[in-house]
Amino acid sequence: MPRLFVLGSSGWIPTLARQTVAHMIETRRGLIFLDCGSGIARLHDPLFQEMLKRHQRALVLLSHWHHDHIEGLAALPFFLGHMEVTLAGPGPEISGEKAADILARFGGAPLLPKPLPDWSELFSGGFNIVDLRPGKQNIGGEKVEVIVQPHTHPSVGLRVRDVAYITDTAERSESAAFAKGAALLLHDAWLDNEGAAEDGPNALVHASGSGAARVARAAEAKHLVLTHLNPAYDVARLERMFLAAAAIHPATQLASDMATFSFTGGDEAPTPTAAEPTESDAG
Ligand SMILES: [Zn+2]
Ligand SMILES: [Zn+2]
């Protein structure tokens, strides 16, 4: 039964309780990462150290190129160096450039010893960079579906293993169609209702918790996890946002770093095993 781990649930910048967005699905075939923010640092946890030893393959899927979604890339050789790693991000049809060309700007001396496209010898099983394009594709042996989304620069929604991941875009009916019947929908919840009403520019490129819940309800998603949370919101404000969302789609949870969800294809609701958020930050 696949399991999804929230490694990081913050947007933009980390807080004491939340690293920036990274989520990991463990399957029998290997590990699938949904974004690669600073949450990758959670792989230091002993639970994940054992898990990393069990796997030889990793697929890293990037929703877009903003720093909070890629800043964990520098640590990939440290955690995944024994694996075959495929890294896929929005390619020419979406970003106007090949993923490898964009990543060539990530690193190289003096930022990192080598630019990221030259990292093949850092992974003993090999290293590939793949361009995501709109629609269905097979990447590293996984069926992945991609939808292009409006954002400050385009982002993509991702669907893999019956998980739909929609971040860094507003509430959209296209997202509901894309996530139809998903066992697990991870959705951007950057704003609460007050924030969405006040913050015009951000409301055009990010969703609210309630907006995410309306998408989940329209998609008939078995379970909704609110992620890419606003680091400026304190615990009480996040809790109010969560309650407003849960009133719309009851099978909703606020992501917390290290929360785990088990799910079986689309047939069965995932079982949250770390249900309560435990953050203690005050934003
Ligand atoms: Zn972001
Ligand atoms: Zn973004």
Neighbour tally for 228: CB within 10 Å: 29
Taking the CA of 188 as reference, the closest ligand is 1
DSSP 156: E
Sheet-wide strand order for 155-160: 135-139, 142-149, 155-160, 163-166, 184-188, 224-227, 252-254
The CA 158 to ligand 1 mean position distance, Å, reads 15
Query: Is residue 231 a part of any domain in this protein?
Result: yes
Residue 279 confidence (pLDDT): 39
Q: Which residues neighbour ligand 2 (ion) by CB within 5 Å?
A: 66, 168
Tell me how many helices (H) and strands (E) the chain has. 10, 15
The CA 38 to ligand 2 mean position distance, Å, reads 14
Residue 266 confidence (pLDDT): 37
Written as six digits, the tokens of 193 are 């209702």
Residue 265 confidence (pLDDT): 65
The CA 266 to ligand 2 mean position distance, Å, reads 28
Work out how many domains the chain is built from and give that number: 1
Query: Is residue 279 a part of any domain in this protein?
Result: no
Q: How far apart (Å, rounded) are the C-alpha atoms in residues 83 and 76?
A: 10
Query: Is residue 277 a part of any domain in this protein?
Result: no
The CA 64 to ligand 2 mean position distance, Å, reads 7
Query: Is residue 282 a part of any domain in this protein?
Result: no
Query: Is residue 254 a part of any domain in this protein?
Result: yes
Are 88 and 59 in contact by the 8 Å Cβ rule? The answer is: yes
Query: Is residue 281 a part of any domain in this protein?
Result: no
Q: How far apart (Å, rounded) are the C-alpha atoms in residues 87 and 129?
A: 5
The CA 67 to ligand 2 mean position distance, Å, reads 8
At 179, which CATH number? 3.60.15.10
Asked whether the bond before 110 is cis by omega within 30 degrees of 0, the reply is yes
The CA 68 to ligand 1 mean position distance, Å, reads 5
Query: Is residue 203 a part of any domain in this protein?
Result: yes
Q: How far apart (Å, rounded) are the C-alpha atoms in residues 42 and 14?
A: 12
Q: How far apart (Å, rounded) are the C-alpha atoms in residues 175 and 228?
A: 16
The CA 58 to ligand 1 mean position distance, Å, reads 22
The CA 122 to ligand 2 mean position distance, Å, reads 28
Query: Is residue 274 a part of any domain in this protein?
Result: no
The CA 18 to ligand 1 mean position distance, Å, reads 13
Residue 269 confidence (pLDDT): 38
Ranges of the chain whose pLDDT falls below 50: 266-283
pLDDT (tens digit per residue) in 6-36: 999 999 999 999 999 999 999 999 999 999 9
The CA 229 to ligand 2 mean position distance, Å, reads 12
In one letter, which amino acid is 200? G
Written as six digits, the tokens of 256 are 């917390």
The CA 66 to ligand 2 mean position distance, Å, reads 5
Residue 132 confidence (pLDDT): 98
Taking the CA of 149 as reference, the closest ligand is 2
The whole domain housing 227 covers 3-133+143-266
